[in-house]
Structure 1
Amino acid sequence: MNYVAVAGVGLTPFCKPGLHKPYRLMAANAISQALVNANIEPHLIQQAFCSYIYGDSTCGQHALYEVMQTGIPIINVNNNCASGSTALYLARQAVMSGEVDCALAFGFEEMQPGALTEQWSNRESPLTRIEQVLAEFAAPQGPVALKAFGQAGRYYMDTYNVSAKLFAQVAEKSRRHAMNNPHALFRMPLCADQVLAEKIIYDNYLTRLMACPPTCGAAAVIVCNEQFAKQHGVNSPIKILAQAMTTDTKDSWKNPINAVGQSMTQQAANKVYDSSGVSPEDIDVIELHDCFTPNEVITYEALQLCPEGEAIKFITEGSNTYGGKCVIGPSGGLMSKGHPIGATGLAQCAELVLQLRGNAGNRQVPKAKLALQHNIGLGGAAVVTLYGQ
């Protein structure tokens, strides 16, 4: 086996809660698209990994049975917002190990309106350590995700002497990219002043348009080895050149930025760069975890796209968009496309595969050869994946 490749991808348009179909049907739609995209039949899938966080323990079986009931192993995955990329990580490992030649990763979410909250108030929270960091830095009260990323943004502003306009400029860029993505939930253009004038939802600076919307949807990715791709006529396989998953270390609790995943991301990115021989300067297109625009800024530095504290220069010079150093979030990202948690990481993969195949339409990044994906979940996990032709 010479490589593991993405053979096919599929996804549904993401929509607001209440406007979605049952997860079973959304997932079946995405899986069916991925099978057609890969040009293979369902019986060739040998293992499946299903990601979601809001659902019972065998939702993956219920969804996949709509498309196929072939008796294969189906593993349900919950790793918070990194669930989709975790499913992809496991599917790739299954192929790399030689256990299977072809595996499916799919994910979905049916979400509720409003800010994310913890679901199990009658037991100890896995986010206790994050809460302790936020208390140490006197974070204002709020739902845990909003508080964590909001305080990370506040810490960044105070540390590097920048204003919230930096985060508004990121939102403006994301919406501009989303205008060319028919799958994005929000496609109307915005300017930074509009973002800053919106309703403040946290700490006197973070507005509603700096936070991604809760959405519902599904995505699917089929991975295989080189021999399988050749034997079954897979259309335009895209290689997974490197991939790394990391979790928290003691450094995660030093400050609010590390608490939301910067140190995890740095570790994962370093592993990917070291194992592939690729440097950040080589990357053409990136999909990253912009659940809040402060996190996009933090991630620029964690992925070594710019030096620490210099995201403002990176953004002002247009290095994060078409014509710059690399195009970040051509899909519009979580900010504009939406964030149905179990599907998010797999939808990022789908976007990058389209880009590397040259099939991204009006949002195509010219001559894209290398693509990087970043997905995180509080509590925690970070997955960084490098793709190439």
Structure 2
Amino acid sequence: MRHVVVAGVGMIPFVKPGASEPYDRMGAQATQLALADAGLGYAQMQQAYVGYVYGDSTCGQRALYEVGMSGLPIVNVNNNCSTGSSALFLARQAVASGMVDCVLALGFEQMQPGAIGSHFTDRPSPFGHFDELAEDLVGQPQLPLALRYFGGAGLAHMQQYGTRLETFAQIRAKASRHAEHNPMALFRKVVSADEVMASPMLWPGVLTRLMACPPTCGAAAAVLCSDEFARRHGLRADVRIVAQAMTTDTDVTFSGRDMREVVGFSMARDAARQVYEAGGFGPDDVDVVELHDCFAQNELLSYEALGLCPVGGAEQFVVDGDNTYGGRVVTNPSGGLLSKGHPLGATGLAQCTELVQQLRGAAGPRQVDGARLALQHNLGLGGACVVTAYQRVD
């Protein structure tokens, strides 16, 4: 397997539904930014993997035809909220295997206001089994599915470890402090933990409105290539994907009868373990992390799943400030999904963009000092989880 370089990244500012350009324009803009960052033309791309969740078939072609029509293979990808990283996963495999030398990964989403839901109600839902177990474990059928799942997972942690609701509020407040310095973020206003607690209670005692990420529109892209291709074309090759894994659900998702498993705790843990083993490092070696904080509850759970702290130790990890600048590892310097926004198909590639900028030392006031090893975690229910490790190479 060949080394895979991230030669270029690009993203556009994330905005509220109704305030964005159409998906094809957003996707084209992010692609052009990534190509310009790499110093390459569209004609040099040998394949493209394009991720989005809400849209008709071949939206990837529509977006990329705005950039060029070179006849290259374009594969459309949909893996729920892990769609962007799934496109990245396929692109990395294509280069690492030697099939191609240079590939584009693109993700975009043109979302609608309000909670996400199914658009195809005349057929079995992919969440049928998840809904049945959630109804059995936590009830709350009046709540949107994502809120019920992740709120229930946070509640399970509260019940087992005594985790306080205020701890989730501290995570959201941390996200806002990080996003203040990110011009691409949807929400840049700093909020305190008290303000998070005072926001409308979506599930009394379990979750407030500010603990949930907003529906968002946006796009992000990355150009991947082999080391040899980078040298031949004089491209920068200082950021490399050193390990990557994708996992899907196992029996424990349902047999564990635990809402934390329903939202992918074991998927994330197993993907992280594979990445640590393949990369020859551990969580203590990681300098910066972009993880899937669709809810503040899931950020806390992900600390444990990724091995950043012991299982049951996430609240202390937050209280000690080990999740931010000056602590053990900076999590979501971009502001994460909670503040930056969550355009489903773009999220994984936006995470990639942030981490590449961090490893290049180009993140401005968000820069993590001395960042050399970065970890990315992108989760989609139904389900799939992608964990990716990036390393700075001198």
The TM-score, its normalising length taken from structure 2, stands at 0.97
* Cα displacement (A) at 1:22: 0.8
The answer on 1:166 being equivalent to 2:181 is no
- The match for 1:343 is 346
- The match for 2:222 is 221
Aligned 8 A contact 1:139 1:151 in 2: no
- The match for 1:179 is 180
Separation (CA, whole Å) in 1 of partners of 2:96 and 2:119: 35
Separation (CA, whole Å) in 2 of partners of 1:256 and 1:18: 33
Separation (CA, whole Å) in 1 of partners of 2:5 and 2:236: 11
Structure 2 gap segments, 5+ residues each: none
Q: Deviations over 1:133-155 (max 9, x none)?
A: 21221331211111111111111
Q: Deviations over 1:32-84 (max 9, x none)?
A: 00011001121110000000011011100010011111000000000000000
Number of aligned residue pairs: 389
C-alpha RMSD of the superposition = 0.9
Q: Deviations over 1:245-279 (max 9, x none)?
A: 00000111211001101000000000000111110
- The match for 1:10 is 10
Q: Deviations over 1:88-139 (max 9, x none)?
A: 0000011112111000000100101111112211111111221122122133
Secondary structure, counterpart of 2:371 in structure 1: coil
Secondary structure, counterpart of 2:245 in structure 1: strand
Of 280, 292, 296, the match for 1:293:
296
The TM-score, its normalising length taken from structure 1, stands at 0.99
Secondary structure, counterpart of 1:228 in structure 2: helix
Secondary structure, counterpart of 1:55 in structure 2: coil
- The match for 1:388 is 391
* Cα displacement (A) at 1:2: 4.1
Alignment of 1:202-281 (within 5 A): 202-253=203-254, 254=256, 255-281=258-284
- The match for 1:353 is 356
The answer on 1:53 being equivalent to 2:56 is no
Structure 1 gap segments, 5+ residues each: none
* Cα displacement (A) at 1:194: 0.6
Alignment of 1:129-208 (within 5 A): 129-141=129-141, 142-208=143-209
Separation (CA, whole Å) in 2 of partners of 1:240 and 1:386: 6
Separation (CA, whole Å) in 2 of partners of 1:355 and 1:236: 14
Calculate percent identity across the aligned residue pairs. 55
Of 353, 370, 380, the match for 1:377:
380
* Cα displacement (A) at 1:204: 3.8
Separation (CA, whole Å) in 2 of partners of 1:233 and 1:145: 45
- The match for 1:24 is 24
* Cα displacement (A) at 1:236: 4.2
Higher mean C-alpha displacement, 371-380 vs 132-141: 132-141
Aligned amino acid, residue 102 of structure 1: C
Higher mean C-alpha displacement, 187-196 vs 351-360: 187-196
Separation (CA, whole Å) in 2 of partners of 1:357 and 1:298: 29
Aligned 8 A contact 1:284 1:368 in 2: yes
Separation (CA, whole Å) in 1 of partners of 2:272 and 2:32: 32
Higher mean C-alpha displacement, 181-190 vs 80-89: 181-190
* Cα displacement (A) at 1:233: 1.4
Separation (CA, whole Å) in 1 of partners of 2:132 and 2:295: 21
Separation (CA, whole Å) in 2 of partners of 1:138 and 1:75: 38
Aligned amino acid, residue 217 of structure 1: G
The answer on 1:328 being equivalent to 2:331 is yes
Aligned amino acid, residue 301 of structure 2: I
Q: Deviations over 1:146-184 (max 9, x none)?
A: 111111111111111122111000001000000111111
